[in-house]
C-alpha cells in the first residue's frame, strides 16, 4: 500500500513516522501494539484476475506483504494476518482474526488506530472496534485514504465520527 507497491496509496509512506511515534508512546505507557497486515494467497478473491476490485497485492511471504522497512514495531507486537484464505476478503483487523477476544483478554478498553488505507481497512477496523465496545480513537496523521472517488477519505472520517469514534490529529 506504500509508494512502490502494487496498490500504492498516495503519500502512504507518510504514515510511518506517526505510527512509529504512536508505537513508542504505547510502549512507554505499557500499552500493547498490534500490527495487522493483508496476507493473501496468490489466488485471492480480491484480485482483479479473479474478478475482485484490486490489483494483486500483499501476497503472503513476498516483499509486497512486508511491513514498511522503516516501521518500528516493539518486540512484543502482536502481528495479525487477515484475508489469509483464497475465497474470503477481510478489510477489518477484527474480521476472522479473534482480535476482539484477544484485546479483552488483555483488559484493553481503548484502541488507537492508524495505517492504510483510511477509507477501507482503517474504516472497517474502527467500525468493528466500536461495535465490539472499545473506545476508539482514529489518529489522522497516521493514515491516508485511497480516494478511489474524490472525498472517500473525508466521508470515511464522517462515518467513523457518527459511529462514535474520537478523531485526533495525531
Q: Which residues bind Zn ion (CB under 5 A)?
A: 38
Nearest residue (CB) to Zn ion, 13 versus 38? 38
* Comparison of 94 and 134: residue with beta carbon closer to Zn ion: 94
Residue nearer to Zn ion on the CB measure, 82 or 137: 82
Q: Please state whether the peptide bond connecting residue 117 to the residue before it is cis, i.e. omega within 30 degrees of 0.
A: yes
CB of 9 within 8 A of CB of 15? no
* Residue 6 Cβ vs Zn ion, minimum distance, rounded to whole Å: 10
Distance of closest approach, residue 58 Cβ to Zn ion, in angstroms:
5
Residues 128/138, Cβ–Cβ less than 8 Å: no
Q: How far is the CB of 37 from Zn ion (least distance, A)?
A: 9
Amino acid at each position: 500500500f506504500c509508494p512502490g507497491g502494487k496498490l500504492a496509496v498516495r503519500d502512504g509512506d507518510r504514515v510511518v513516522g506517526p505510527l512509529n511515534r504512536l508505537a513508542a508512546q504505547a510502549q512507554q505507557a505499557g500499552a500493547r501494539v498490534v500490527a495487522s497486515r493483508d496476507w493473501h494467497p496468490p489466488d485471492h478473491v480480491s484480485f482483479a484476475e479473479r474478478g475482485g476490485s484490486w490489483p494483486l497485492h500483499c501476497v503472503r511471504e513476498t516483499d509486497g506483504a512486508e511491513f514498511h522497512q522503516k516501521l518500528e514495531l516493539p518486540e512484543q507486537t502482536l502481528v495479525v494476518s487477515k484475508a489469509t484464505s483464497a475465497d474470503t476478503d477481510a478489510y477489518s483487523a477484527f474480521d476472522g482474526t479473534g482480535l476482539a477476544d484477544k484485546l479483552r483478554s488483555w483488559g484493553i478498553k481503548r484502541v488507537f488506530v492508524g495505517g492504510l488505507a483510511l477509507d477501507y481497512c482503517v474504516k472497517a477496523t474502527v467500525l468493528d472496534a466500536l461495535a465490539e465496545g472499545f473506545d476508539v480513537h482514529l489518529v489522522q496523521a497516521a493514515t491516508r485514504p485511497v480516494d478511489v472517488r474524490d472525498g472517500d477519505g473525508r466521508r470515511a472520517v464522517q462515518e467513523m465520527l457518527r459511529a462514535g469514534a474520537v478523531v485526533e490529529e495525531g
